[in-house]
């Protein structure tokens, strides 16, 4: 990989120096050394994204949509009372990790097409988490954590989510949060605010995405429900608390997304059967789930009932409409249903916003774990490790500030900054990609000379913007962040020049 394809915000080189200090500080202390090893593995591992929200917000359904299979339980059973980690594995497997550290391997079973999850004979109070390995490419880059509802009738279940996401020891295990809410409820607003305030730094708002879940229900299941949901989501995004403490608000019809990713030929045939009757007859069949199952067209009542479970009445209405409009194959229909569901917009935030900055987000939490280790070390190791952690936070703070500025620029114009400058600033801060080539706007065949020339021009321009007496404060903050990013790239290019002359 060439230098121009490297990320100037990559914290791994600095992290290696930090862990060298941590190894010295914990020498001869096996338990603390093991925690340092865990932190090192954590930095090299996948991004961890938690799904949070109230009971029945649609968390497990969205997990299933991401994975394209019915793995997360959506009923009110005991497994929804514990946190479940969905992670990459070449072979499907499941295990229960108890609070005492013991691990119980469980058989991977299905019943009626759904994955059957259990707790291995333990009660929810005895379980730390359930781990599910699944060979999904989606999980190669991130781990999904499904959490109990924060307003569960069982206080212990709610406490597990609170401990994981808001308590310092647990929060260090999660790098980003997708928070699902069905309405603008005070409980939701408060929790989103607490997520940002409880972060280990000032940039927690840039790691929380709010999803307006079960969006099809906002319009009463009408065919235009998602249009109404998008309007509602835009109004929620302007809510001061959500605007200040989240990346944004995206409406999603989770069941529609899950059904789209699991659509089969049999499902398509059942939907197509409904296109053979008039609109009035079709709507009469779809008054309720029971009516459709008993009196619908095509298949058996059990097959129609299963279709309702997979797609919902809204999905059946939407699927039928799309077939009438020209979707002629299951693949065409699935793609259109998924597009309508809003799932793609959430995945875009994951792939364009969180994943390119995964190392920075993980490093933020890894250093939190090392600070906890340092407190248990004796002098002078404690002092040296805490000082190294402080230096690391300063260095990682700049990329995190970039993340926050990019979020702000995506939402609204930066006061005092021309639109064309705002676009360049967002690019330099990594909005179009994390590498030097992306940030400088270089062509594919451009080399070090072109990069150096572009770097000089951008540094002169943004240095002048930052220093000009008439620059508005919001614009000056962005300019300073841009100059910081350019400085890091200049250091990288200078290292190349020194290497070439020695």
d(CA 152, CA 317): 32
Q: Which domain holds residue 394?
A: 3-11+374-501
Q: Both 382 and 331 in a single domain?
A: no
Tens-place pLDDT, residues 287-339: 999 999 998 898 899 999 999 988 999 999 999 999 999 999 999 999 999 99
Q: Both 414 and 466 in a single domain?
A: yes
Nearest CA to 9 out of 484, 500, 343 is that of: 484
Q: Both 381 and 489 in a single domain?
A: yes
For the residues 118-130, what does the mean pLDDT come to? 88
How many H-runs (helices) and E-runs (strands) does the chain carry? 21, 11
d(CA 231, CA 66): 24
Using the predicted structure, report yes or no on whether residue 187 has a pLDDT greater than 70: yes
Q: Both 386 and 491 in a single domain?
A: yes
Q: Where residue 497 falls among pLDDT bands split at 50, 70, 90?
A: low
The CA distances from residue 213 to 3, 59, 174, 240, in Å, are 42, 8, 21, 20
Tens-place pLDDT, residues 334-361: 999 999 999 999 998 898 888 888 888 8
Using the predicted structure, report yes or no on whether residue 167 has a pLDDT greater than 80: no
User: For residue 485, how many other CB atoms are within 10 A of its CB?
Assistant: 25
* Contact residues for 33 (Cβ-Cβ < 8 A; gap 6+): 23, 26, 27
Instruction: Quote the mean pLDDT of the chain.
Output: 86
Q: Is residue 283 part of a domain?
A: yes
Q: Both 312 and 388 in a single domain?
A: no
Q: Both 455 and 385 in a single domain?
A: yes
Say if residues 8 and 436 touch (Cβ distance below 8 Å): yes
Q: Is residue 165 part of a domain?
A: no
The whole-number pLDDT of residue 502 equals: 46
Structure tokens at 500: 């070439």
Q: Is residue 120 part of a domain?
A: no
d(CA 175, CA 143): 10
Q: Both 485 and 388 in a single domain?
A: yes
d(CA 144, CA 344): 17
Using the predicted structure, report yes or no on whether residue 253 has a pLDDT greater than 80: yes
Q: Is residue 346 part of a domain?
A: no
Of 362-366, 419-423, 424-428, which gets the smallest average pLDDT?
A: 362-366
Q: Is residue 275 part of a domain?
A: yes
d(CA 465, CA 414): 13
Q: Both 327 and 444 in a single domain?
A: no
Q: 248 φ, ψ to 5°? A: 165, -175
Count the domains in the chain: 2
The whole-number pLDDT of residue 15 equals: 85
Q: Both 379 and 446 in a single domain?
A: yes
Q: Both 497 and 378 in a single domain?
A: yes
Using the predicted structure, report yes or no on whether residue 418 has a pLDDT greater than 90: no
Nearest CA to 286 out of 259, 255, 319, 261 is that of: 319
Using the predicted structure, report yes or no on whether residue 92 has a pLDDT greater than 80: yes
Q: Both 381 and 431 in a single domain?
A: yes
């Amino acid at each position: 990989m060439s230098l121009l394809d490297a990320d100037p915000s990559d914290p791994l080189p600095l992290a290696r120096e930090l862990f060298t200090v941590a190894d010295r500080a914990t020498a001869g202390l096996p338990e603390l050394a093991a925690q340092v090893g865990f932190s090192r593995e954590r930095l090299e591992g996948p991004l961890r994204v938690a799904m949070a929200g109230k009971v029945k917000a649609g968390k497990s359904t969205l997990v299933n949509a991401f994975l394209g299979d019915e793995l997360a339980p959506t009923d009110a059973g005991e497994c929804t009372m514990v946190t479940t980690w969905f992670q990459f594995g070449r072979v499907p497997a499941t295990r229960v990790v108890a609070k005492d550290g013991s691990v119980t391997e469980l058989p991977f079973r299905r019943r009626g097409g759904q994955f059957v999850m259990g707790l291995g004979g333990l009660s929810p109070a005895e379980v730390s988490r359930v781990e599910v390995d699944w060979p999904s490419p989606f999980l190669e880059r991130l781990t999904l954590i499904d959490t109990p509802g924060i307003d569960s009738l069982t206080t212990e279940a709610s406490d597990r989510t609170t401990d994981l996401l808001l308590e310092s020891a647990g929060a260090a295990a999660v790098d980003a949060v997708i928070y699902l809410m069905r309405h603008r409820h005070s409980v939701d607003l408060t929790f989103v605010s607490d997520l940002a305030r409880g972060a280990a730094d000032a940039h927690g708002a840039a790691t929380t995405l709010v999803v307006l879940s079960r969006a099809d229900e906002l319009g009463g299941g009408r065919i235009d429900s998602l249009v109404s949901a998008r309007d509602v989501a835009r109004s929620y995004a302007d809510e001061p608390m959500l605007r200040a403490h989240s990346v944004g608000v995206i409406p999603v019809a989770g069941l529609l997304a899950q059904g789209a990713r699991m659509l089969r030929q049999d499902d398509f045939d059942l939907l197509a059967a409904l296109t053979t009757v008039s609109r009035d007859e079709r709507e009469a069949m779809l008054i309720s789930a029971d009516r459709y199952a008993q009196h619908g067209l095509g298949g058996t009542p059990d097959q129609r009932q299963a279709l309702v479970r997979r797609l919902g009445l809204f999905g059946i209405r939407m699927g039928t409409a799309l077939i009438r409009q020209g979707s002629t194959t299951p693949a065409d229909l699935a793609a259109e249903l998924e597009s309508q569901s809003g799932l793609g917009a959430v995945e875009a935030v994951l792939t364009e916003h969180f994943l390119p900055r995964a190392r920075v987000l993980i490093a933020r939490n890894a250093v939190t774990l090392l600070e906890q280790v340092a407190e248990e070390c004796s002098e002078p190791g404690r002092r040296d490790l805490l000082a190294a952690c402080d230096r690391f936070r300063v260095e990682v703070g700049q990329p995190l500030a970039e993340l926050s500025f990019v979020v702000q620029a995506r939402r609204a114009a930066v006061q005092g900054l021309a639109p064309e400058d705002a676009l360049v600033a967002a690019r330099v801060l990594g909005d179009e990609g994390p590498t030097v080539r992306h940030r400088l706007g270089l062509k594919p065949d451009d080399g070090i000379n072109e990069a150096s020339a572009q770097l000089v021009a951008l540094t002169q321009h943004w240095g002048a913007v930052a220093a000009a007496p008439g620059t508005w404060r919001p614009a000056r903050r962005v300019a300073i962040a841009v100059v910081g990013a350019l400085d890091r790239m200049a250091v990288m290019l200078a290292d190349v020049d020194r290497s070439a002359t020695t």
